[in-house]
Every structure is written in C-alpha cells, then in structure tokens.
Amino acid sequence: MTNYRAMIKDKKRIVIKIGSSSLQHKETGDLDYIKMEVLVRELCNLRNQGKDVVLVTSGAIAAGKKAVHIKAEENSIAVKQACSAIGQARLMMTYEKLFSEYNQVSAQVLMTKNTIVDDLNRFNAHNTFSELLKLGVIPIVNENDTVATYEIEIGDNDTLSAIVASLIDADLLLLLSDIDGLFTDNPRENKNAEFISVVPKLTDEIMDMGKATTGSLVGTGGMNTKLIAAQIATSAGADMIIANSKDVRIIHRIMDGREIGTLFQANKDENFYLKDFVTSLHND
Ligand code: GLU
C-alpha cells in the first residue's frame, strides 16, 4: 500500500486556513506578530517550492474590536460589520508588510455566499484566483463581513476555506485550529476521547462527532464546521487536514508527510456541485 501521508509532499495547490484565536495573544486579544511572521514565512517557503498557495484568514472582526476598544463578547451585527471594516484593513496591512519582507506579493479577496451562488460572480472569482496564482501571488481570503448579513453570509471561515478549495480545484486544504484534530468526543470534556488520525471516508458516525469543540470566544468554527468543510473539500477532490496552530511550523512538518493532525482523504463525488451546496447553506 502506498503511504498516503508521503503523497502530501506532492500537493500542488494548497489552501491554508487560520482562525482568529490562532492569530491573537490570549491574554490581550492583540495580534501575535511572531506567529503571523512564522505563518507568512511558511507560506512563502511553499510558494518558493513552486506550489500555489492561498491563505484564508479570520481575525478581521477581532482586530477591529481591539482597535476601537469594543469587548470581544459584543456581537451585534452592526458592530461586527463595522469592526470587520476596521479590522480587515489592519489585518491586511500586517500581512502585506510581512509578505513583502520575503519579496512575496499578496492580494486581498473578500467573498460572500453570493460570490458562489451567482453564476457570473462565481465565474469571475474563479478567473481572479486563476490569474493571481498564475502571477505567483498569494491570495488572502476572508468573508466580506462588512456586507455579509445572514441571507448572504457563509458564516465561518472553515466552510469558506473549503469553498475556496473547491472553487480553485485545490488538492489540499489545511485547517489550522486550536485543536489537534478530530476526536471521538470532545477531548476538553471527555478524558477518554480518542484521537482519529485518518478518515478514509466521511460516514454518518464521523459527521456526528461534530460537536463545538473550540471553546474560544473569538472564532466561529467548532468541529461541526470543520466536518462540513471536510464534506465540501473531499467531495471536490481535495484532501483535508486539521492540525493545531499552536506552532505554525507544523505546516512544513505536515508537508514533509509526517503523521500530524487528522487527514480526511479525498473522495471525489462527480455529483457534487459547489453552487448547489452553497445555495443550501443556512436554508434549513
Ligand atoms: N470572517 C471573520 C473574521 O475575519 C471570522 C470568521 C471565522 O472565524 O470563522 O473576523
């Protein structure tokens, strides 16, 4: 049997998602520049290997709240929208600065549900990504939270990153989170919860393990959204790995083929249509 993990080395188009709680200092909520620096260095190194790299980053709303001294718990729609407008620019300013230290050009792409549901929008978004990647640019993606109200929001960046992976035909989606991967139960509550290192196929039993396990105030994704992301990514033909962002150098260790995190193996489903899947989000 071929070693599936060793094949991770050969991935050509990689989407990496990092959550808000991974980008901030827990004590203050301010951006962790050292962590962001290491993240950017890892991404540039992948780019230098000739791979296409896309970063999906949260943290805009959290950074905006920080800038105007609004409590992390304050979650009214207007406040979140305003704070995302403030924070997205700040977040990009930091990324731009770090990427330029490695002589790497980055770009901002903000999306909503409509970007996928509307045929012309989806076509344009696909073309934009293709062109950016052809130019060797690293697109930095977030939801357009400033305008994304309930009807048009995707809602969390786990799902958004899988949508992006599907849209651009990525072969790997890497979700960096505050958890090591998938467990049979919530490891923070159940000491007997067992770690699952590989999921060859997404069964109902696996989907049922999607309990909210992040326990953080700043992000929106729990294990549930990660499993929905796995459904999208694997059906679209990409492998997906969930791994802990505590040390972001984990990226090159994973790319070396080491057994880290939970690997969901791609299971391309010819009947999977991104537009239909996204249309059905929040419709129940
Ligand atoms: N788009 C949100 C932000 O940038 C975060 C969504 C998420 O954490 O999943 O703040």
Give the tens place of pLDDT for each residue, 44-74: 999 999 999 999 999 999 999 999 999 989 9
CA neighbor of 158 nearest in space, from 227, 246, 55: 227
**DSSP 3-state of 158:** helix
The model's pLDDT over 129-146, given as tens digits with 9 standing for 90+, comes to 999 999 999 999 999 988
Decide if 35 is inside a domain.
yes
Count of the separate structural domains present in the chain: 1
Q: What spatial distance separates the first Cα and last Cα of the chain, rounded to whole Å?
A: 42
CA distance 142 to 140: 7
CA of 1 to the centre of ligand 1 (A): 40
CA neighbor of 200 nearest in space, from 67, 66, 1: 1
CA distance 240 to 281: 20
Of 63-72, 175-184, 212-221, give the lowest mean pLDDT range.
212-221
Average pLDDT of the chain to the nearest whole number: 91
Decide if 128 is inside a domain.
yes
- Which residue type does 88 have? Q
Decide if 30 is inside a domain.
yes
Instruction: Find all residues with CB under 8 Å of 198, minimum gap 6, and list them.
Output: 4, 262, 263, 264, 265
Give the residue-averaged pLDDT of 244-253.
97
Cβ-count burial of 130 within 10 angstroms (0-12 exposed, 13-18 middle, 19+ buried)?
A: middle
Instruction: Give the CATH number, domain containing residue 179.
Output: 3.40.1160.10
Decide if 247 is inside a domain.
yes
CA distance 10 to 167: 20
CA distance 268 to 253: 26
CB–CB of 137/108 below 8 Å? no
Nearest CA, atom 6, ligand 1: 156
Residues with CB under 6 A from ligand 1: 19-20, 58-62, 84, 142-143, 145, 156-157, 219-221
pTM of the model: 0.93
Q: Is the pLDDT of residue 207 over 50?
A: yes
pLDDT value at residue 284 = 57
**DSSP 3-state of 48:** helix
CA of 158 to the centre of ligand 1 (A): 9
Q: Is the pLDDT of residue 233 over 80?
A: yes
Which token pair is 146?
Answer: 């400033």
CA distance 264 to 233: 9
- The secondary element (H helix, E strand) that includes residue 235 is helix 223-235
CA distance 55 to 139: 6
CA of 179 to the centre of ligand 1 (A): 17
CA of 276 to the centre of ligand 1 (A): 23
Atom of ligand 1 minimally distant from the CA of 57: 4
The model's pLDDT over 72-115, given as tens digits with 9 standing for 90+, comes to 899 898 999 999 999 999 999 999 999 999 999 999 999 999 99
Give the residue-averaged pLDDT of 174-187.
90
150: containing domain: 8-279
CA of 255 to the centre of ligand 1 (A): 25
Decide if 132 is inside a domain.
yes
Identify the residue whose tokens are 């770009």: 107
pLDDT value at residue 210 = 73
Decide if 45 is inside a domain.
yes
CA distance 136 to 138: 7
Decide if 284 is inside a domain.
no
Decide if 1 is inside a domain.
no
Q: Is the pLDDT of residue 220 over 90?
A: no
pLDDT value at residue 212 = 43
pLDDT value at residue 209 = 80
